[in-house]
Amino acid sequence: MDFPRIYNAARDFVDRNIDEGRADKAAFIDPDRTLTYGQLLSASCQVANMLTALGIPREARVAMIMLDTVDFPITFWGAIRAGIVPVPLNTLLNGAQYEYMLRDSRAQVLFISAALLPAVANVLGDIESLEHVVVAGGDAGEHIPFQTELQEHETTFTPVETFADEVAFWLYSSGSTGEPKGVQHVHTSPMITARNYAHNILGMDENDLVYSAAKLFFAYGMGNAMTFTMAVGATATLLPGRPTPQSVFAMLKAHQPTMFFGVPTLYAAILADPECTPDTGSSRLRHCISAGEALPEDVAQAWKAKFGVEILDGIGSTELLHIFLSNRANDLRYGTTGKAVPGYRLKLVDEDGAELGDDEIGELVVHGDTAANSYWNQRAKSRATFEGAWTRTGDKYYRDADGFYHYCGRTDDMFKVSGIWVSPFEVESALVSHEAVLEAAVVAKEDEEGLMKPKAFVVLNQGQETGDLFETLKEHVKQEVGAWKYPRWIDFVDDLPKTATGKIQRFKLRE
C-alpha cells in the first residue's frame, strides 16, 4: 500500500472528511454531545495550538487517561496534527500502574477525564517528566481545564509534515502475560488496518453507525470506533461507562447501530442476562464482531439463534494494531478464527522456527505492514517478537485442510498431558458448552507425581449451585473433547482475573 513520504495521519483521517463534504456530519456521539467532522477539525487544531503554546516539542509524548467521549478523538488527533505522540492509557488501572506508564513513556502532558483524576492524584507530583495536567469533563482543581483552555486557541493549524514511517502514537500492551509494554505505531498503520479489515472484511462505509463496547484506549476499540469510522466518513457512538449487558442493550436501542463490536465474555454475559430477548437491541445490525479472546462455538451459535446475526470472530494484537485473521460473512466457520485478512500473510512455526503444515500445532507468526516498530526501551522483548517483516503472536494454532485457523491457546498456556498437547481453549469451550457454566479458564497444574494436568476455574450461571457439578463437568469434558483432557481439579469462583480488554489473565491463576 503506497503512501507519500510526507504523511500526517491527521490530514487523512480528519481534514479529508471535510474535503469530501462531511463537515456537518456527525463523527462521534457520546451521551452529552454530538461532534461533527467540522467541529473535530476545529477542536483538534485548538489542541495542536494548545500543545505548541505549552512548549511541547515534536515527537514528545502526551499521555491520555480519557473516557470514551468526544474529547478523546479531539485530543488524539490534535496531538498527531502537531507531530506530538499521544499515548492512550487503560482507564481502569490504579495509581501505581499509571505511575509506571507515565514514567516509562516520559509523558510531558497528561490529558485526563475529571472522573479519573483521583486514581492518579497521589503520584502526579512525583513524575519529573510531567509538566502539565489537562482535565476534561469536570472540575480541574489546580490543573488546566480542557474546555476553557481550548477556547484560548485558534481553530486552524496546518498538520506538521511528519514522515509516513514516523511514530504517530503508542499503545500499551494489555498485560495479559505480565508487565505492559509501550508499543510504537507509525502514521500509516491506522489507514492500512481500515483498508485491510474494515473495508475488505466488513464492507464498512459512510452510511454505517458503529458501537464498540471495546474502549478507545486499546487497539481493538480504537480501530472499531475511531480510525475505521473516520477512514470512511461513518459515525461512532461512545459510552463512557462500563459495558454491562444493560448498558449495551441501552446503546443498541438508542442508536440502532449497523455494527457492534464486543468480546467473548460480553457476548456470553448478554446471552446469560434474563433481560436478553430477540427484540433487544438494534434492528439494523448487519455485523457483530468479536476479538480479544477466541469466541467459543457455543456462544456464537446461541447468539445467531437468538438475534439472527452472525458473530465474526477474529484475532488481532496491540503489536499489529488490529485484526489480521478473521471469519467473514461469506466464509465463516464457528469454532475457528477464520482465514488471513487481505494484506497479511500467516504461517505456523515450531519451537525451532520451521514452518508447519495442516493440522500441526504451532505458533502463529504474521507478516503485515501494520506491525509496530518495537517495544519502547525493551530491546530483548522487541527482538523476540519482531523478526524482520514477521511478528510473533505468542498464540498457538493449527490450520485445517480448508485453510481455517483453530485457536489452541497462548504459547505460555499450552501444556502436554501424557505426551499430547492440551489446548486450554478447547477445554474451556467444552466447559462453557454446559448449561450451568458462564465462563471458564484452564491452566496446567502438577499432580502428586509431578505430572501436568488441567485445572479449571469456573464461573457458574446465575442461580446455579455447585452440588455434584464437579463430577458432571468432568464427564462432560471427557465426552466433548477427550478422556485425557478433563480437568482434575475445578475451582468454582465468582469471577476470573481479566485485563480491561476482556482477556483472561491465566498467569494469575497459575500463581
Full set of structural domains in the chain with CATH: 9-187 (3.40.50.980), 195-369+379-410 (3.40.50.12780), 415-497 (3.30.300.30)
Return the ∠ at Cα 82 (arms to 184 and 156), rounded to 5°.
Answer: 150
- How many whole angstroms separate alpha carbon 308 and alpha carbon 481? 28
Predicted confidence at residue 417, as pLDDT, reads 78
- How many whole angstroms separate alpha carbon 220 and alpha carbon 200? 17
Run means of pLDDT, 10 residues per run, the chain, 511 residues: 93 98 98 98 98 98 98 98 97 91 97 97 94 97 97 98 98 72 98 98 98 96 98 98 93 96 92 84 94 90 94 97 97 96 97 95 97 96 95 95 93 76 86 93 85 90 88 92 87 87 80 73
Please give the sequence-ordered ranges of beta strands (E in DSSP) within 137-274, or none if there are none: 144-145, 167-172, 182-186, 209-212, 235-237, 259-262
442 phi and psi, to 5 degrees?
-125, 135
Determine whether 80 is exposed, middle or buried from the number of CB atoms within 10 Å of its CB (0-12, 13-18, 19+): buried
Predicted confidence at residue 510, as pLDDT, reads 82
| pTM of the predicted structure, to 2 decimals | 0.89
- How many whole angstroms separate alpha carbon 209 and alpha carbon 420? 46
pLDDT in tens, 315-349: 999 999 999 999 999 999 999 999 999 999 999 99
> How far from 240 is each of 44, 261, 264, CA to CA, in Å?
20, 15, 20
Predicted confidence at residue 498, as pLDDT, reads 81
Provide the b/e sequence for 313-345 (b: ≥16 CB within 10 Å).
bbbbbbbbbbbbbbbbeeebbbbbbbbbbebbe
pLDDT in tens, 155-186: 999 999 999 999 999 999 865 555 789 999 99
Q: Are 397 and 364 in contact (CB under 8 A)?
A: yes
